[in-house]
Structure 1
């Protein structure tokens, strides 16, 4: 009797150990919330959002040396020049292309006023001054009255000059971004700030106010984000430099529409029309770019695509050997949460460091997210990222699907919680203060144009997203995040249930083997004691 009890105890323990390993694999871990954000840090330093006027009268946006803000001031001096309207819309390619014979950049100069006490007068000495080349940037946003800009810092000889801009590290290439399409002024900042907490190489961003100077006259342009473009570099995508002695190279590519000015790669999936868009090689560039490099990157990505698009299960399941699966998981759940359904197909970067695995990212372009597309109404009860390039293939794997569920559950308790998102939005609005009001005074007529189509939702109710005041716009933004967040996890589970390649017998074989060993040992011990 006593021997049977011992055997029973051993068997039960082996079951507990085996099940412990199994469920440990699926356990949702707690995400450490960092929250080192510009709006939090600046307010903690004593920045006063009530500084300066809260609007302009009679359409007069001319300012003088007494203009003051708690945000950095960026002054662009165009002298007597105009930035040319250098791009035209190509209906066939569905994008803006450079006009023949037009140089998009003009020479100008930039001054940045960013005092340590967060009190910045237009008449103060600047912390940074440089010659620049500047142009308008964007795709559809390039036609808006509130332009976005891209500029390159230059030294006295006209060569690229790397300088630290607003504490984001030294580089020569910068962007002034805040699309007129986002009347909340929050979408891009939210996206980059939150992504930067857990997604590598996310571009740094800083709020600032832009003043355009022309022939000695200063005109207020509005609230902007100074930000980094996605590029190779020490303070950008910090992968290893190209080395011509190696038969391999680190690289960065971008998936988007066809670009005649780019280095378009004819990869396996592109050649066989298996994917959307084209991959443009963004690094190596310049003198490092050669046929050898292009062939290497083309073949390297083709190897990944041949596995992802393989009809053979064993071949397909080799994909974790080639891609950084966790980066693809984060990219999926982040863009699904923010409802960025352009990502994956357009403005989609990937990078590889030497002979490591291919990673997706950094994230890019978030002014259209969270139900901000004029023609379409977001349905919060469904997810739509599963159809994006490469992800449709990855979702055949139960392993990948389960990782999506697990990761979303983790982030939902942290950065994606309703409380976190609502607080982030409220705190950012407090931080922007009068700067936000000044921008709205400058551009309110454009922000409140009735650009949204009135569309019926899934229940047949007409939804009007055209609002006259900022508070309603912000509430709609919060509601969109909170409503959609409720449905993501159950929708992800549906993907797991319906996936093609089940892994119950395959992925947990190590735990099954361990359980079997423990069980056999217990039985053997029991028999010896009989």
Structure 2
């Protein structure tokens, strides 16, 4: 393991760089407003002595110590449900072609386990022998798509009381809720892609989940560095929507565009019928218990009207222009950030939109940057060239309008002065890695073999094998190199976005 530990990154004071950031970088935190000066990510909250507490690289439960919050889940010998069910090497499919997943013995999607969070006083190491700061029952199952079959699993956590009812808790300083995600970086050898993206995203005009690095034990076995993070759901501290009045079927709603959800209701909207390659929308809010057929029909009709207007010749007219029904700022920032990171699942998978009864359709929260920054399994983006968001649903039409394209170009230039400046992002990465410290070394005590691609199955590593980093330092350097190369290419070519909205003699009505 010594070769994996390599050098340590020196602590870099982000505050000195953040001092140049202007109030222009205003964004939205789940449930509250945030500015670049206002939101303090986990690695900046910690004091220097917190990282220097007596830790080491021991990963046995008795000797283990960490400056990070520690999560322990005890299943009492139960199998966690949510695995893909295979028969004779092939996944089992339902009649609607959705993958069949394993369930608990009683047929439910979750098991009930014991959840403990160890997050003691600053300057003290967290140990499993400590008194937990939060102790609760929890419902748990595996989550994800490709990651569902990684050895380092992702977990959906729903805290409940002894009666099985939702139990809200503040976890590691995050706003009180019962629904959480434990995201385990496996394909991402830098460990930081999601953390950096979500915490930078707090300063954009689009929602972004709050996150904390932690270390996880499952049934007493060390599982490595994880992100404890807010899940996407309706709620006062998440996607805060106005509840229906009870009069008629009018409702706020939260939708997810992704591969078919196992159980969530699918929306039969205009886009689902006219764009066969587009992922379908599933309704996350109202919940199943509150989603009457009348409300389902109303949501479909509302989306139909919006989509028909966007895909019509009137999409940029004063009466029916997209800006009358879309929160344009959110769509602009979502475009810029996902294009900058080349997070090209965005707009196709893991894409959320919501609409409040009193508002416009808004895109977000940001989600899943595991494959961003040139980390897709089967395609390299190491040349850092090109645009892809212009072909995504919604954006295919938005990019035809000069005003939207100019807003994207202006916002990009604005963010490159502070939040997306090379110096700021690379220093942010260095400080994050320095903050992880011994926790990263402990992670590789468990998962260090994955730096050898010959020991990792196809689908759990980048292809071809030469793309995979050989050390942790190399993995981190790949992210920083990408940021600088991508920024340089966009600096030179961002104005080229105008070609997608330029008038044409062969384009009907120049639409």
State if a TM-score over 0.5 links the two structures: yes
| Partner of residue 208, structure 1 | 214
Change (3 A) 1:154 1:260: closer
1:422 Cα deviation from its structure 2 partner: 0.7
CA offsets 1:169-211 (integer angstroms, 9 cap, x no match) = 2211111102311111000101111001224431110111111
| TM alignment of 1:8-27, pairs within 5 A | none
1:245 Cα deviation from its structure 2 partner: 2.0
Is 2:257 the counterpart of 1:255? yes
| Partner of residue 76, structure 2 | 79
Distance in 2 (alpha carbons) for counterparts of 1:158 and 1:53: 38
1:448 Cα deviation from its structure 2 partner: 3.6
Is 2:341 the counterpart of 1:338? yes
User: What SS class does the counterpart of residue 269 from structure 1 fall into?
Assistant: helix
Is 2:483 the counterpart of 1:481? yes
Distance in 2 (alpha carbons) for counterparts of 1:134 and 1:33: 34
Correspondent of 1:113 among 107, 113, 118: 118
Report the RMSD for the aligned CA atoms in angstroms: 2.4
User: What SS class does the counterpart of residue 436 from structure 2 fall into?
Assistant: helix
CA offsets 1:405-436 (integer angstroms, 9 cap, x no match) = 00000111111111011101100011001011
1:268 Cα deviation from its structure 2 partner: 1.2
1:51 Cα deviation from its structure 2 partner: 3.2
Distance in 1 (alpha carbons) for counterparts of 2:293 and 2:52: 53
1:106 Cα deviation from its structure 2 partner: 1.5
Change (3 A) 1:249 1:471: same
Distance in 2 (alpha carbons) for counterparts of 1:41 and 1:29: 21
| TM alignment of 1:301-312, pairs within 5 A | 301-312=303-314
Is 2:409 the counterpart of 1:409? no
* Unmatched 5+ stretches in structure 1: 1-27, 456-463, 503-530
Correspondent of 1:322 among 304, 308, 325: 325
Task: Say which one has the larger Rg.
Answer: 1
Distance in 1 (alpha carbons) for counterparts of 2:476 and 2:140: 32
Is 2:334 the counterpart of 1:360? no
| Partner of residue 494, structure 2 | 492
Q: Is the 8 A contact 2:225 2:440 kept in 1?
A: yes
Distance in 2 (alpha carbons) for counterparts of 1:30 and 1:158: 45
User: What SS class does the counterpart of residue 248 from structure 1 fall into?
Assistant: coil
| TM alignment of 1:5-84, pairs within 5 A | 30-31=24-25, 33-34=36-37, 36-43=40-47, 46-49=49-52, 51-54=54-57, 56=58, 61-64=59-62, 66-84=63-81
User: What SS class does the counterpart of residue 142 from structure 2 fall into?
Assistant: strand
TM-score, normalised by the number of residues in structure 1: 0.81
Is 2:454 the counterpart of 1:452? no
1:165 Cα deviation from its structure 2 partner: 1.4
Change (3 A) 1:501 1:232: farther
User: What SS class does the counterpart of residue 254 from structure 1 fall into?
Assistant: strand
* Unmatched 5+ stretches in structure 2: 1-21, 26-34, 86-90, 455-460, 505-511
CA offsets 1:194-253 (integer angstroms, 9 cap, x no match) = 00122443111011111122xxxx221111111111000011111112321255221101
1:118 Cα deviation from its structure 2 partner: 4.2
Aligned length: 456
1:49 Cα deviation from its structure 2 partner: 4.4
Is 2:147 the counterpart of 1:141? yes
Q: Is the 8 A contact 1:375 1:452 kept in 2?
A: yes
Distance in 2 (alpha carbons) for counterparts of 1:247 and 1:332: 32
Deviates most, 343-352 or 168-177: 168-177
User: What SS class does the counterpart of residue 225 from structure 2 fall into?
Assistant: strand
